Structure 1
Amino acid sequence: MWQTIFEKMVSRLIQNGELRVTYPDGRTRSFGPGGALTAAIHIKDKSLFKGLCTHPDLALGEAYMDERLTIENNDIEGLIKLVLRNSYTSVLPPWVQFADRTRFALGRWIQRNTPELARSNVSHHYDLSNDFYRLFLDEDMQYSCAYFTDPAMSLEEAQIAKKNHIAQKLHIEPGMRVLDIGCGWGGMAITLARDYGARVTGVTLSREQLALARERAAEQGLSDVIDFRLIDYREINEPFDRIVSVGMLEHVGLPHYAEYFDKVSDLLSPDGIALIHTIGRSGPPMAESEWITKYIFPGGYVPSLSELAPPIEKSGLWNADLEVLRLHYAMTLRHWLQRFDDNIDKVRETHDDRFIRMWRYYLTVCFLAFEEQKQAVFQFQLTHRRDAVPITRDYLYHDHGPRRQAAE
């Protein structure tokens, strides 16, 4: 029964390109009108048909990880691109649409990121090991969207450009107190302290990140101007001249947006500036991927602009500027995947093939989300005063490098 339902579903779904399916018994069938976009899969376990019909996103990812489904030439990109370009919700079975609506409705419960759950969720992803992340990130270990002023830039150059672009938006003066919410391995905090003269407090919930961030600050002689803490941002109570948060809002969860922006408002000085950098959707809100939530980012959520505007408005902050970075993250993720593949032998020294398939699937699905779906990166520049920043963007493009040396 489930195989028949699967065939009907795929027949309706593939309206562009072609999907070739080899069944457990060796029989092959093609779906779609054909064309340049093609993919071929081999379903090796007949019990998989039920999962593909009831929870297609989760079942596809799990089956690939477990090799119950293989992809010809291991072309994950080709398969996911074919699926995404044919993602017409209206052709999915009613029970799949109902499940998606239910998961979206339950989002506030799924994303109830209390301090305890937030620590657990962060540890799940970020405490794999620092050595693992070194294999595919840039030298400064920036695990967020880079800024490609030129598509030919190296990953290192684009991440430096990202940090300087954010620093320009923050208008930092030497000696200013800066809070870095979700400081990662410390690269942004080190840049702001070393190159712009700031005194930085960086907060994280990852023990692995904390240890390396402190080590890196000490190596550069910055321990006296950077204070890295293992603490939830909600527990911070001191005032700051500037607040920066890069790639952390995705972990806050929909139920906590008001709490988050209220906290930013409370901690920011009257003439202060905050820069919030987050993945976001340029389309209507939708349920998070079941597979991503289960295996990669538990408690995570990519918000639509319509979900961020109300809590920002209610916080009393001015949205002084909103910049939308579109293909920058796709380019960043492609660099990461290439570096991951280049270092696959080193990855195998500490992780099994199932983990490798999971990680390649994750990176591929993510860069295709930015290339094929309505996903982008938002940079919110928030202030208490309308005149806290210049009234045009000219100041951002006159100088992309550090403007000041560190304060004595």
Structure 2
Amino acid sequence: MSNGETSHDQRYEHQGGRTGRGRLAPARAGMWLLARSLGHLVRTGRLTVFDPLGETWRFGPGGGPSVSIRLTDRALPARLLANPSLALGEAYMDGTLRIEAGTLRDLLSICMTEIDAVDALPGRRLTRWLDGFRTRSLHHNPIRRSHANVAHHYDISTDLYDLFLDADRQYSCAYFPTGDETLEEAQTLKKRHIAAKLLLRPGLEVLDIGSGWGGLGMELARQHGARVTGLSLSAEQIAAARDRAAQSGLSDQVAFEQRDYREERGQYDRVVSVGMFEHVGRSGFDAFFAALQRVLRPDGVALVHAIGTKAPRGGSDPWIRKYIFPGGYLPSLSETIAAAERSGMWVTDVEVLRLHYAETLRHWSERFAQEREAARKLYDERFCRMWEFYLAACEMAFRNGRLMVFQIQLAKRRDSVPLTRDYIAETEAGQTAGNMSSDTHTRRAS
């Protein structure tokens, strides 16, 4: 193609020199192949790429976000082809991919709008094929490995999470009934929604598997009179949760323990797990539901809230797996239901939340951007880029990709919950605005 000409299939425009020979030929060939793929991938908006050889490529029909990026490493186009997700995230972290116009969220929105086209990229297909052979090693999480995986993500500075989470430190999908709620309101409504499905009453004993910084457990104790045991493998989270319980005068109702759920031997009226099942790993599904079945009393009720995928089989993203959640596995709903059924428990209710996490992540991204300088002082510029990419990529995976959140209610007996779902809305309606946790409207004491 000569300078200023349009490609033969009319999917992109190229301005620059002809494909060269000699030592520049591999770099030109890599960019040309990447351009062919982007020509099929970019179906909305406008993407301009300034390549490492000083040439310009334009993709997309317009009519949406417009983004310009500069690639500064000659090997980057080939890496993007070989492993798109991993290479894109690392290039943004390292600064070999620079955004010169538009935003990171716009770039990811353009690239992830056609998720089927992304999965059709040769490198993406190869990565998924190889991951299929390595599923057990990639997603097998015995207790010792689970401790290490949790420490990797959660035993970093709590000050970082305070920069973008709500005041209650809810680090999971919020609940947006209208979409107009603030983050604080939506996280309060999420806890209320979960509590309604647990059919709580004063004095019930609740096990919270993956209790985080303790916000949900304290809410169930304070608003519903439950006695809660929270489990987490994160030393930082357990210390913060215990401190919060003591300051709130709830230490006699709530206990937080650094213990794996597989080691739990108590008996409980209710079991809840929010945002933890994603860390179990595919080989651990049966052990997880067997543990729920073992600790749940005969008339008990359990609720599992987790990120999942609408694909027939779950998996994990290479960049997320390497930098954010090692050992993570996002399950399909069908895989999860099958494992729950093998435990012998009844699946008494299923709800799929589709765009709720996209909105949650949007709020988190905006808050992190506002506090970016504080995050850079805690860590460094590369860490900030990593965190920006994590939040933005996850948002677009929920907004344009296959990810969603599901809530599965379980019971040992078929009559442990009412015959219809009306009780959920009725219970939520009974909780007036004045009963919202005061923690969600004040700054953290811990």
Shorter-chain TM-score range: over 0.9
Q: Identity of counterpart residues, as a percentage? A: 47
Q: Structure 1 residues 46, 90: CA separation in 2 closer, same or farther (over 3 Å shift)? A: closer
**Does the residue aligned with 2:292 lie in a helix, a strand or coil?**
helix
Q: Distance in 1 between matches of 2:314 and 2:129?
A: 8
Match of 1:127 among 155, 158, 173: 155
Q: Deviations over 1:103-129 (max 9, x none)?
A: 133222101111111011111111111
Segment of structure 1 superposing worse, 68-77 or 366-375? 68-77
Aligned equivalents of 1:153, 1:313: Cα separation in 2: 36
What residue number does 2:229 align with? 201
Report the secondary structure of 1:399's partner residue. helix
Q: Aligned partners of 2:120 and 2:311: how far apart in 1? A: 19
1:2-401 to 2 correspondence within 5 Å?
2-73=30-101, 75-89=103-117, 92-400=120-428
Q: Conserved in 1, the CA contact under 8 Å of 2:308 and 2:333?
A: yes
Q: What whole-Å deviation, never above 9, does each CA across 1:192-212 have from its counterpart, x for those lacking one?
A: 111111111100000000000
Which string of whole-angstrom CA distances, capped at 9 and with x for unpartnered residues, describes residues 281-323 of structure 1?
Answer: 1232254110000011111111111211211111011110001
In terms of Rg, which structure is larger?
A: 2
Deviation string for 1:169-224 (max 9, x for gaps)? Answer: 11112111110000000001101111111111100000000000000001111111
Distance 1:139 1:315 in 2: 37
- In 2, the alpha carbon distance for the partners of 1:158 and 1:16 equals 31
What displacement does 1:98 show?
A: 2.3
Q: Counterpart amino acid of 1:263?
A: A
Say whether the 8 Å CA contact 1:121–1:299 is kept in structure 2.
Answer: yes
- The answer as to whether partners of 2:308 and 2:404 remain within 8 angstroms in 1 is yes
CA-CA distance at 1:393 after TM superposition? 1.3
- Structure 1: how far apart are the matches of 2:338 and 2:316? 20
C-alpha displacement at 1:15, in angstroms? 4.2
CA positional deviation for 1:140 = 0.7
8 Å Cα contact 1:181/1:245 also seen in 2: yes
Describe the SS at the equivalent of 1:168. Answer: helix
Q: Which moved more, 1:344-353 or 1:7-16?
A: 7-16
Aligned equivalents of 1:332, 1:360: Cα separation in 2 = 14
> Which has the higher relative contact order, 1 or 2, with Cα contacts under 8 A spaced 6 or more apart?
1
Calculate the TM-score normalised by the size of structure 2.
0.87
Q: CA 1:96–1:323 in 2, change beyond 3 Å: closer, same or farther?
A: closer
Q: Distance in 2 between matches of 1:4 and 1:178?
A: 58
Aligned-pair CA distance for 1:274: 0.2
Deviations 1:244-267 (A, max 9, x none): 000000111111001101110111
TM-score norm. by structure 1 comes to 0.95
Q: Which stretch of structure 1 is more off in the superposition, 344-353 or 295-304?
A: 344-353
Supply the distance in 1 between the matched residues of 2:374 and 2:119 (Cα, whole angstroms).
43
In the alignment, the residues of structure 1 paired with residue 120 and residue 402 of structure 2 have an alpha-carbon distance, to the nearest angstrom, of: 19
Q: Secondary structure at 1:272's aligned position in 2? A: strand
Deviates further, 280-289 or 233-242: 280-289
CA distance in 2, matches of 1:166, 1:397: 11
Q: In angstroms, what is the RMSD of aligned CA positions?
A: 1.8
Partner-residue secondary structure (3-state), 1:386: coil
Preserved contact between residue 13 and residue 92 of structure 1 (Cα < 8 Å): no
Q: Could you tell which deviates more after superposition, 232-241 or 18-27?
A: 18-27
Counterpart amino acid of residue 99 in structure 2: I
Verify the 8 A CA contact 1:196 1:402 in the aligned structure 2.
no
Sort the Cα spacing of 1:62 and 1:389 in 2 relative to 1 into closer, same or farther, 3 A. Answer: same
Q: Which runs of 4+ in 1 moved over 6 A?
A: none
Alignment check: 8 A CA contact 1:326 1:376 kept: yes
